[in-house]
Structure 1
Amino acid sequence: MSLAEMWELLVFVALVVVPVLASIKQVPARLRDLRAGIRGVVYVPVVLTVLFTVAAAALVLAEYVPPLQWGWLGTNVVVAPLADLAPAPEGAPGGTGAGSGGTFLGPTLTLALFLPFILLAFLVFNWYEEAYYRGSLRDVGIWAVLHLVMGIPIFAVIPIFAAGLVYKWIYDRRGLRAAYTAHLGTNVALLSVLVLTIVLAPTGTGAV
Protein backbone atom coordinates (compact mmCIF):
# COMPACT_ATOMS: atom_id res chain seq x y z
CA MET A 1 0.00 0.00 0.00
CA SER A 2 1.40 3.41 -0.98
CA LEU A 3 1.37 6.39 1.35
CA ALA A 4 -1.27 8.05 -0.83
CA GLU A 5 -3.53 5.00 -0.59
CA MET A 6 -3.00 4.78 3.16
CA TRP A 7 -3.89 8.47 3.58
CA GLU A 8 -7.00 8.09 1.44
CA LEU A 9 -8.10 5.04 3.42
CA LEU A 10 -7.62 6.83 6.75
CA VAL A 11 -9.61 9.82 5.53
CA PHE A 12 -12.40 7.54 4.28
CA VAL A 13 -12.56 5.80 7.65
CA ALA A 14 -12.59 9.11 9.54
CA LEU A 15 -15.12 10.95 7.37
CA VAL A 16 -17.33 8.11 6.21
CA VAL A 17 -17.01 4.85 8.15
CA VAL A 18 -16.97 6.34 11.67
CA PRO A 19 -19.94 8.71 11.08
CA VAL A 20 -21.91 5.92 9.40
CA LEU A 21 -21.34 3.54 12.29
CA ALA A 22 -22.24 6.29 14.76
CA SER A 23 -25.52 6.88 12.89
CA ILE A 24 -26.42 3.26 12.16
CA LYS A 25 -29.45 3.36 14.48
CA GLN A 26 -31.02 5.95 12.18
CA VAL A 27 -31.20 3.58 9.23
CA PRO A 28 -34.74 2.28 9.97
CA ALA A 29 -36.06 5.86 10.24
CA ARG A 30 -34.35 6.87 7.01
CA LEU A 31 -35.84 3.85 5.22
CA ARG A 32 -39.28 4.95 6.43
CA ASP A 33 -38.58 8.47 5.14
CA LEU A 34 -37.49 7.01 1.83
CA ARG A 35 -40.69 4.98 1.51
CA ALA A 36 -42.86 7.95 2.46
CA GLY A 37 -41.16 10.19 -0.11
CA ILE A 38 -40.81 7.60 -2.86
CA ARG A 39 -42.56 9.84 -5.38
CA GLY A 40 -39.51 12.09 -5.26
CA VAL A 41 -37.69 9.54 -7.41
CA VAL A 42 -39.48 10.94 -10.49
CA TYR A 43 -37.30 14.05 -10.18
CA VAL A 44 -34.03 12.14 -10.47
CA PRO A 45 -33.82 12.55 -14.29
CA VAL A 46 -34.36 16.29 -13.87
CA VAL A 47 -31.56 16.57 -11.31
CA LEU A 48 -29.21 14.50 -13.47
CA THR A 49 -29.94 16.60 -16.55
CA VAL A 50 -29.22 19.84 -14.69
CA LEU A 51 -26.17 18.35 -12.99
CA PHE A 52 -24.52 17.05 -16.16
CA THR A 53 -25.36 20.15 -18.20
CA VAL A 54 -23.89 22.54 -15.65
CA ALA A 55 -20.97 20.19 -14.96
CA ALA A 56 -20.02 20.24 -18.65
CA ALA A 57 -19.94 24.05 -18.62
CA ALA A 58 -18.00 24.11 -15.34
CA LEU A 59 -15.47 21.65 -16.76
CA VAL A 60 -14.85 23.95 -19.73
CA LEU A 61 -14.46 26.89 -17.35
CA ALA A 62 -11.93 24.92 -15.30
CA GLU A 63 -9.83 24.38 -18.42
CA TYR A 64 -9.50 28.16 -18.81
CA VAL A 65 -9.12 28.86 -15.07
CA PRO A 66 -6.74 26.14 -13.80
CA PRO A 67 -7.03 27.08 -10.08
CA LEU A 68 -10.63 25.83 -10.25
CA GLN A 69 -9.24 22.33 -10.79
CA TRP A 70 -7.76 22.25 -7.29
CA GLY A 71 -9.17 20.00 -4.61
CA TRP A 72 -7.33 18.52 -1.65
CA LEU A 73 -8.38 15.02 -2.75
CA GLY A 74 -9.63 15.58 -6.30
CA THR A 75 -12.85 13.62 -5.81
CA ASN A 76 -15.53 13.19 -3.17
CA VAL A 77 -14.03 11.18 -0.32
CA VAL A 78 -17.27 9.20 -0.02
CA VAL A 79 -16.62 7.49 -3.37
CA ALA A 80 -12.84 7.88 -3.47
CA PRO A 81 -12.01 4.17 -2.99
CA LEU A 82 -14.13 3.31 -6.04
CA ALA A 83 -13.12 6.36 -8.09
CA ASP A 84 -9.53 5.12 -7.94
CA LEU A 85 -10.57 2.02 -9.87
CA ALA A 86 -12.31 3.79 -12.75
CA PRO A 87 -10.49 5.10 -15.84
CA ALA A 88 -10.38 8.90 -15.81
CA PRO A 89 -12.19 10.47 -18.79
CA GLU A 90 -9.99 11.76 -21.57
CA GLY A 91 -9.79 15.53 -21.41
CA ALA A 92 -10.76 15.81 -17.76
CA PRO A 93 -8.69 18.34 -15.79
CA GLY A 94 -5.66 16.47 -14.59
CA GLY A 95 -6.95 13.29 -16.17
CA THR A 96 -4.80 10.90 -18.14
CA GLY A 97 -7.48 8.55 -19.42
CA ALA A 98 -6.48 5.77 -17.03
CA GLY A 99 -7.35 5.01 -13.45
CA SER A 100 -4.80 4.98 -10.69
CA GLY A 101 -4.82 1.21 -10.70
CA GLY A 102 -3.20 1.37 -7.30
CA THR A 103 -6.01 0.27 -5.00
CA PHE A 104 -4.21 -2.39 -3.01
CA LEU A 105 -7.27 -4.56 -2.27
CA GLY A 106 -8.20 -5.07 -5.91
CA PRO A 107 -11.52 -4.21 -7.60
CA THR A 108 -13.69 -7.07 -6.35
CA LEU A 109 -12.73 -6.79 -2.69
CA THR A 110 -12.83 -3.00 -2.82
CA LEU A 111 -16.41 -3.05 -4.11
CA ALA A 112 -17.44 -5.64 -1.52
CA LEU A 113 -15.93 -3.74 1.41
CA PHE A 114 -16.61 -0.12 0.54
CA LEU A 115 -19.89 -0.14 -1.41
CA PRO A 116 -22.08 -0.91 1.66
CA PHE A 117 -20.56 2.01 3.58
CA ILE A 118 -21.02 4.34 0.62
CA LEU A 119 -24.69 3.40 0.30
CA LEU A 120 -25.26 3.80 4.04
CA ALA A 121 -23.49 7.17 3.94
CA PHE A 122 -25.89 8.36 1.23
CA LEU A 123 -28.87 6.97 3.12
CA VAL A 124 -27.98 8.84 6.33
CA PHE A 125 -26.15 11.97 5.16
CA ASN A 126 -28.52 12.95 2.35
CA TRP A 127 -31.38 13.30 4.83
CA TYR A 128 -29.42 15.79 6.92
CA GLU A 129 -28.41 17.71 3.82
CA GLU A 130 -32.04 18.14 2.80
CA ALA A 131 -33.21 18.85 6.35
CA TYR A 132 -30.69 21.61 7.07
CA TYR A 133 -29.66 23.19 3.76
CA ARG A 134 -32.83 23.89 1.80
CA GLY A 135 -34.31 26.79 3.75
CA SER A 136 -32.86 29.51 1.51
CA LEU A 137 -30.56 30.11 -1.45
CA ARG A 138 -27.86 31.02 1.06
CA ASP A 139 -28.24 27.62 2.70
CA VAL A 140 -27.95 25.91 -0.68
CA GLY A 141 -24.78 27.89 -1.40
CA ILE A 142 -23.26 26.95 1.95
CA TRP A 143 -24.13 23.31 1.32
CA ALA A 144 -22.44 23.38 -2.09
CA VAL A 145 -19.27 25.01 -0.75
CA LEU A 146 -19.11 22.57 2.18
CA HIS A 147 -18.54 19.80 -0.37
CA LEU A 148 -14.99 21.17 -0.68
CA VAL A 149 -14.34 19.62 2.73
CA MET A 150 -15.08 16.25 1.14
CA GLY A 151 -12.27 16.77 -1.38
CA ILE A 152 -14.04 17.77 -4.61
CA PRO A 153 -12.36 20.17 -7.11
CA ILE A 154 -13.48 23.79 -6.78
CA PHE A 155 -15.25 23.82 -10.16
CA ALA A 156 -17.51 20.97 -8.99
CA VAL A 157 -19.17 23.34 -6.52
CA ILE A 158 -20.99 24.95 -9.47
CA PRO A 159 -22.96 21.89 -10.66
CA ILE A 160 -23.54 20.82 -7.05
CA PHE A 161 -25.10 24.23 -6.35
CA ALA A 162 -27.27 23.85 -9.45
CA ALA A 163 -28.44 20.42 -8.25
CA GLY A 164 -29.12 21.97 -4.84
CA LEU A 165 -31.45 24.48 -6.45
CA VAL A 166 -33.47 21.62 -7.91
CA TYR A 167 -33.56 19.89 -4.51
CA LYS A 168 -34.77 23.15 -2.95
CA TRP A 169 -37.51 23.42 -5.58
CA ILE A 170 -38.63 19.88 -4.71
CA TYR A 171 -38.34 20.61 -0.98
CA ASP A 172 -40.49 23.74 -1.26
CA ARG A 173 -43.21 22.04 -3.30
CA ARG A 174 -43.18 18.39 -2.23
CA GLY A 175 -41.51 18.45 1.18
CA LEU A 176 -38.41 17.08 2.87
CA ARG A 177 -39.00 13.42 2.18
CA ALA A 178 -39.50 13.91 -1.56
CA ALA A 179 -36.33 16.03 -1.76
CA TYR A 180 -34.46 13.41 0.26
CA THR A 181 -35.60 10.64 -2.07
CA ALA A 182 -34.61 12.66 -5.13
CA HIS A 183 -31.18 13.38 -3.63
CA LEU A 184 -30.57 9.78 -2.62
CA GLY A 185 -31.84 8.51 -5.97
CA THR A 186 -29.49 10.86 -7.83
CA ASN A 187 -26.48 9.71 -5.81
CA VAL A 188 -27.38 6.05 -6.27
CA ALA A 189 -27.72 6.61 -10.03
CA LEU A 190 -24.29 8.27 -10.18
CA LEU A 191 -22.80 5.53 -8.03
CA SER A 192 -24.30 2.88 -10.31
CA VAL A 193 -22.62 4.49 -13.31
CA LEU A 194 -19.30 4.47 -11.46
CA VAL A 195 -19.65 0.81 -10.48
CA LEU A 196 -20.57 -0.17 -14.04
CA THR A 197 -17.55 1.76 -15.33
CA ILE A 198 -15.33 -0.26 -12.99
CA VAL A 199 -16.94 -3.62 -13.80
CA LEU A 200 -16.91 -3.05 -17.56
CA ALA A 201 -13.45 -1.44 -17.71
CA PRO A 202 -10.87 -3.17 -19.94
CA THR A 203 -8.56 -5.57 -18.14
CA GLY A 204 -5.81 -3.70 -16.31
CA THR A 205 -7.81 -0.51 -15.76
CA GLY A 206 -10.15 -1.63 -13.04
CA ALA A 207 -12.04 -4.65 -14.38
CA VAL A 208 -13.39 -6.96 -11.71
Structure 2
Amino acid sequence: MTGILLSEWTKLRSLRSTAYTLLALAALAVGLGVLISSGAGDGYTELAPAERDAFDPTQVSTQSYLAAQLALGVLGVLVVSGEYATGMIRTSLTAVPRRERLLAAKAAVFAAVALVAGLVVGFGAFLLGQATLAGQDAPHTTLAEPHVLRAVAGAGLYLATIGLFGVAVGTLVRSTAGASPCWWRSRCWSPRSARDCRAAGANAWCGGGRRPPARA
Protein backbone atom coordinates (compact mmCIF):
# COMPACT_ATOMS: atom_id res chain seq x y z
CA MET A 1 0.00 0.00 0.00
CA THR A 2 2.92 2.33 0.67
CA GLY A 3 4.03 2.05 -2.94
CA ILE A 4 0.55 2.96 -4.17
CA LEU A 5 0.45 5.99 -1.87
CA LEU A 6 3.84 7.17 -3.11
CA SER A 7 2.72 6.72 -6.70
CA GLU A 8 -0.44 8.75 -6.13
CA TRP A 9 1.55 11.46 -4.36
CA THR A 10 3.92 11.67 -7.33
CA LYS A 11 1.01 11.96 -9.77
CA LEU A 12 -0.73 14.64 -7.71
CA ARG A 13 2.46 16.63 -7.24
CA SER A 14 3.34 16.50 -10.94
CA LEU A 15 -0.01 17.89 -12.12
CA ARG A 16 0.13 21.55 -13.12
CA SER A 17 -3.51 21.86 -12.09
CA THR A 18 -2.50 21.07 -8.50
CA ALA A 19 -0.29 24.14 -8.24
CA TYR A 20 -2.81 26.34 -10.03
CA THR A 21 -5.76 25.31 -7.88
CA LEU A 22 -3.79 25.61 -4.64
CA LEU A 23 -2.73 29.12 -5.67
CA ALA A 24 -6.36 29.90 -6.44
CA LEU A 25 -7.31 28.50 -3.05
CA ALA A 26 -4.83 30.80 -1.30
CA ALA A 27 -5.96 33.81 -3.31
CA LEU A 28 -9.64 33.17 -2.63
CA ALA A 29 -9.30 32.25 1.04
CA VAL A 30 -6.64 34.71 2.18
CA GLY A 31 -7.04 37.54 -0.31
CA LEU A 32 -10.81 37.59 -0.18
CA GLY A 33 -10.69 37.19 3.60
CA VAL A 34 -8.59 40.33 3.94
CA LEU A 35 -10.92 42.25 1.62
CA ILE A 36 -14.00 41.16 3.57
CA SER A 37 -12.34 42.06 6.86
CA SER A 38 -11.29 45.44 5.50
CA GLY A 39 -14.80 46.22 4.34
CA ALA A 40 -16.34 45.07 7.62
CA GLY A 41 -13.87 47.07 9.67
CA ASP A 42 -14.36 50.18 7.57
CA GLY A 43 -18.12 50.04 7.99
CA TYR A 44 -18.16 49.09 11.66
CA THR A 45 -18.63 52.66 12.91
CA GLU A 46 -21.74 53.02 10.76
CA LEU A 47 -23.47 49.96 12.23
CA ALA A 48 -26.47 50.25 14.50
CA PRO A 49 -25.90 49.37 18.19
CA ALA A 50 -27.63 46.00 17.79
CA GLU A 51 -25.46 45.18 14.76
CA ARG A 52 -22.32 46.11 16.67
CA ASP A 53 -23.30 43.74 19.46
CA ALA A 54 -23.75 40.94 16.91
CA PHE A 55 -20.43 41.67 15.14
CA ASP A 56 -18.37 38.46 15.06
CA PRO A 57 -14.74 39.07 14.00
CA THR A 58 -14.05 35.35 13.65
CA GLN A 59 -16.90 34.88 11.22
CA VAL A 60 -15.90 37.98 9.28
CA SER A 61 -12.35 36.79 8.63
CA THR A 62 -13.32 33.21 7.73
CA GLN A 63 -16.24 33.91 5.39
CA SER A 64 -13.96 33.56 2.39
CA TYR A 65 -13.90 29.76 2.72
CA LEU A 66 -17.31 29.72 1.05
CA ALA A 67 -15.63 30.90 -2.16
CA ALA A 68 -12.38 28.99 -1.57
CA GLN A 69 -14.21 25.67 -1.52
CA LEU A 70 -14.54 25.93 -5.30
CA ALA A 71 -10.78 25.49 -5.79
CA LEU A 72 -10.44 22.35 -3.66
CA GLY A 73 -13.63 20.86 -5.05
CA VAL A 74 -12.37 21.23 -8.61
CA LEU A 75 -8.98 19.79 -7.66
CA GLY A 76 -10.71 16.80 -6.10
CA VAL A 77 -12.59 16.22 -9.35
CA LEU A 78 -9.39 16.52 -11.41
CA VAL A 79 -7.55 13.95 -9.28
CA VAL A 80 -9.76 11.25 -10.81
CA SER A 81 -11.24 12.71 -14.00
CA GLY A 82 -7.82 13.88 -15.21
CA GLU A 83 -6.62 10.28 -15.45
CA TYR A 84 -9.68 9.27 -17.44
CA ALA A 85 -9.20 12.23 -19.78
CA THR A 86 -5.57 11.36 -20.55
CA GLY A 87 -6.01 7.58 -20.54
CA MET A 88 -3.56 7.19 -17.64
CA ILE A 89 -6.25 5.32 -15.74
CA ARG A 90 -5.44 2.22 -17.83
CA THR A 91 -1.85 2.30 -16.64
CA SER A 92 -2.95 2.85 -13.04
CA LEU A 93 -5.38 -0.08 -13.15
CA THR A 94 -2.75 -2.30 -14.75
CA ALA A 95 -0.39 -1.54 -11.87
CA VAL A 96 -3.16 -1.76 -9.25
CA PRO A 97 -5.93 -4.05 -10.55
CA ARG A 98 -8.00 -3.68 -7.38
CA ARG A 99 -9.96 -0.48 -7.92
CA GLU A 100 -10.84 -0.03 -4.26
CA ARG A 101 -7.16 0.07 -3.28
CA LEU A 102 -6.40 2.58 -6.02
CA LEU A 103 -9.31 4.81 -5.04
CA ALA A 104 -8.43 4.56 -1.34
CA ALA A 105 -4.86 5.65 -2.10
CA LYS A 106 -6.06 8.57 -4.23
CA ALA A 107 -8.47 9.68 -1.52
CA ALA A 108 -5.89 9.34 1.26
CA VAL A 109 -3.22 11.34 -0.56
CA PHE A 110 -5.65 14.02 -1.62
CA ALA A 111 -7.18 14.22 1.87
CA ALA A 112 -3.74 14.83 3.39
CA VAL A 113 -2.92 17.58 0.89
CA ALA A 114 -6.37 19.16 1.16
CA LEU A 115 -6.29 19.10 4.96
CA VAL A 116 -2.91 20.81 5.15
CA ALA A 117 -3.88 23.35 2.50
CA GLY A 118 -7.25 24.02 4.13
CA LEU A 119 -5.73 24.57 7.56
CA VAL A 120 -2.94 26.79 6.22
CA VAL A 121 -5.26 29.09 4.29
CA GLY A 122 -7.84 29.00 7.09
CA PHE A 123 -5.39 30.20 9.71
CA GLY A 124 -3.81 32.61 7.23
CA ALA A 125 -7.16 34.20 6.42
CA PHE A 126 -8.00 34.46 10.11
CA LEU A 127 -4.71 36.00 11.24
CA LEU A 128 -4.51 38.52 8.41
CA GLY A 129 -8.19 39.31 8.76
CA GLN A 130 -7.84 40.02 12.46
CA ALA A 131 -4.80 42.20 11.81
CA THR A 132 -6.86 44.15 9.28
CA LEU A 133 -9.72 44.62 11.75
CA ALA A 134 -7.31 45.72 14.48
CA GLY A 135 -5.75 48.28 12.16
CA GLN A 136 -9.18 49.84 11.64
CA ASP A 137 -10.03 49.92 15.36
CA ALA A 138 -12.80 47.39 14.85
CA PRO A 139 -13.44 44.49 17.26
CA HIS A 140 -10.97 41.67 16.73
CA THR A 141 -10.02 38.46 18.48
CA THR A 142 -7.24 35.90 18.90
CA LEU A 143 -6.91 32.13 18.78
CA ALA A 144 -6.69 32.10 22.58
CA GLU A 145 -10.30 33.23 22.93
CA PRO A 146 -12.94 30.53 23.62
CA HIS A 147 -14.18 28.61 20.56
CA VAL A 148 -12.07 30.63 18.11
CA LEU A 149 -9.46 27.92 17.48
CA ARG A 150 -12.19 25.35 16.91
CA ALA A 151 -13.98 27.61 14.44
CA VAL A 152 -10.85 28.34 12.40
CA ALA A 153 -9.72 24.70 12.37
CA GLY A 154 -13.26 23.67 11.44
CA ALA A 155 -13.13 25.91 8.36
CA GLY A 156 -9.98 24.09 7.23
CA LEU A 157 -11.55 20.69 7.85
CA TYR A 158 -14.61 21.76 5.90
CA LEU A 159 -12.47 22.64 2.89
CA ALA A 160 -10.78 19.23 3.01
CA THR A 161 -14.17 17.50 3.19
CA ILE A 162 -15.44 19.45 0.20
CA GLY A 163 -12.36 18.37 -1.73
CA LEU A 164 -13.03 14.71 -0.92
CA PHE A 165 -16.58 15.16 -2.14
CA GLY A 166 -15.05 16.32 -5.42
CA VAL A 167 -13.00 13.10 -5.56
CA ALA A 168 -16.19 11.08 -5.06
CA VAL A 169 -18.07 12.92 -7.82
CA GLY A 170 -15.08 12.65 -10.17
CA THR A 171 -15.01 8.89 -9.53
CA LEU A 172 -18.69 8.54 -10.38
CA VAL A 173 -18.82 10.80 -13.44
CA ARG A 174 -15.24 10.32 -14.75
CA SER A 175 -15.40 13.52 -16.78
CA THR A 176 -14.08 16.93 -15.76
CA ALA A 177 -16.70 18.79 -17.80
CA GLY A 178 -19.47 16.65 -16.35
CA ALA A 179 -18.24 16.23 -12.78
CA SER A 180 -17.53 19.89 -12.02
CA PRO A 181 -21.12 21.13 -12.41
CA CYS A 182 -22.41 17.95 -10.78
CA TRP A 183 -20.17 18.59 -7.78
CA TRP A 184 -21.30 22.20 -7.56
CA ARG A 185 -24.98 21.34 -7.78
CA SER A 186 -24.61 18.31 -5.49
CA ARG A 187 -27.01 16.32 -7.62
CA CYS A 188 -24.99 13.24 -8.62
CA TRP A 189 -24.94 11.05 -5.53
CA SER A 190 -25.41 7.56 -6.98
CA PRO A 191 -23.86 5.40 -9.72
CA ARG A 192 -27.15 5.54 -11.63
CA SER A 193 -27.26 9.34 -11.59
CA ALA A 194 -23.59 9.41 -12.61
CA ARG A 195 -24.37 7.25 -15.66
CA ASP A 196 -27.25 9.57 -16.52
CA CYS A 197 -24.95 12.57 -16.20
CA ARG A 198 -22.48 11.03 -18.62
CA ALA A 199 -25.23 10.07 -21.06
CA ALA A 200 -26.82 13.52 -21.01
CA GLY A 201 -23.58 15.49 -21.06
CA ALA A 202 -24.01 16.41 -17.37
CA ASN A 203 -24.27 20.14 -18.00
CA ALA A 204 -27.93 20.06 -18.95
CA TRP A 205 -29.03 17.89 -16.05
CA CYS A 206 -26.75 18.87 -13.20
CA GLY A 207 -26.51 22.48 -14.27
CA GLY A 208 -30.09 23.07 -15.30
CA GLY A 209 -32.00 20.54 -13.24
CA ARG A 210 -33.54 18.72 -16.24
CA ARG A 211 -33.58 14.96 -16.21
CA PRO A 212 -32.11 13.27 -19.31
CA PRO A 213 -34.45 11.45 -21.67
CA ALA A 214 -35.32 7.88 -20.78
CA ARG A 215 -33.35 5.15 -22.46
CA ALA A 216 -35.02 2.75 -24.81
Question: Which has the higher Rg, Structure 1 or Structure 2?
Answer: 2
The answer, yes or no, to whether TM exceeds 0.5 is: no
The TM-score, its normalising length taken from structure 1, stands at 0.34
Bigger RCO of structures 1 and 2 (CA < 8 A, at least 6 apart): 1
The TM-score, its normalising length taken from structure 2, stands at 0.33
